[in-house]
Amino acid sequence: MDMTWFQAMEARIPHGQARTRFAPSPTGYMHVGNLRTALYTYLIARHLGGSFLLRIEDTDQERLVEGATDVIYSTLRQCGLTWDEGPDVGGPVGPYVQTERRDLYGRYAELLIERGGAYRCFCTRERLEELHRDDPTAKYDGLCARLTPEEVQEKLDAGVPYVIRQKIPREGTTTFTDATFGDITVPNDTLDDNVLIKSDGLPTYNFANVIDDHLMGITHVVRGSEYLSSAPKYNLLYESFGWKIPTYIHCAPVMRDAQHKMSKRHGDPSYEDLIAEGYLSQAVVNYVALLGWSPGGEREIYSLPELAEAFDLKGISKSPAVFDKQKLTWMNAEYLKAMAPEDFYQAAAPYLKAAVQNPAIDLRKVAALVQPRCEVLTDLAERVDFLDRLPEYDTALYVHKKSKTTLESALSSLQAALPVLEGLTEWSNDALFAALSGLAAELGVKNAIVLWPVRVAVSGKASTPGGATELCALLGKEESLRRIRDGIARLS
Contact partners, residue 42, CB within 8 Å, separation at least 6: 20, 22, 52, 81, 308
DSSP secondary structure string for all residues of 365-430: HHHHHHGGG-SSGGGHHHHHGGGTSPPP--GGGG-BTTTTB-HHHHHHHHHHHHHHHHT-S--SHH
Q: Report the C-alpha gap between 410 and 490 in whole angstroms.
A: 11
Q: Report the C-alpha gap between 343 and 341 in whole angstroms.
A: 5
Q: Is 264 a catalytic residue?
A: yes
Nearest to 453 by CA among 390, 393, 399: 399
Torsion angles phi and psi, residue 159, rounded to 5: 75, 25
Q: Report the C-alpha gap between 471 and 436 in whole angstroms.
A: 13
Q: Angle of helix 468-475 relative to helix 363-370, nearest 10 degrees?
A: 160
- In the three-class reduction of DSSP (H, G, I as helix; E, B as strand; rest coil), residue 293 is classed as strand
Q: Report the C-alpha gap between 239 and 242 in whole angstroms.
A: 5
Q: What is the 3-state secondary structure (H, E, C) of 10-76?
A: HHCCCCCCCEEEECCCCCCCCEHHHHHHHHHHHHHHHHCCCEEEECECCCCHHHCCCCHHHHHHHHH
Q: Say if residues 81 and 52 touch (Cβ distance below 8 Å).
A: yes
Q: Report the C-alpha gap between 30 and 100 in whole angstroms.
A: 23
Cβ-based neighbour number of residue 380 at 10 Å: 27
Torsion angles phi and psi, residue 439, rounded to 5: -65, -45
Q: Is the dihedral of CA 215, 221, 223, 226 positive or negative?
A: positive
Q: Report the C-alpha gap between 130 and 126 in whole angstroms.
A: 6
Q: Report the C-alpha gap between 481 and 488 in whole angstroms.
A: 11
Nearest to 473 by CA among 370, 369, 390: 369
Q: For residue 315, what is the DSSP state?
A: G
Torsion angles phi and psi, residue 213, rounded to 5: -60, -40
Of residues 139, 167, 198, 264, which has the active-site annotation?
264
Residues carrying an active site annotation: 264
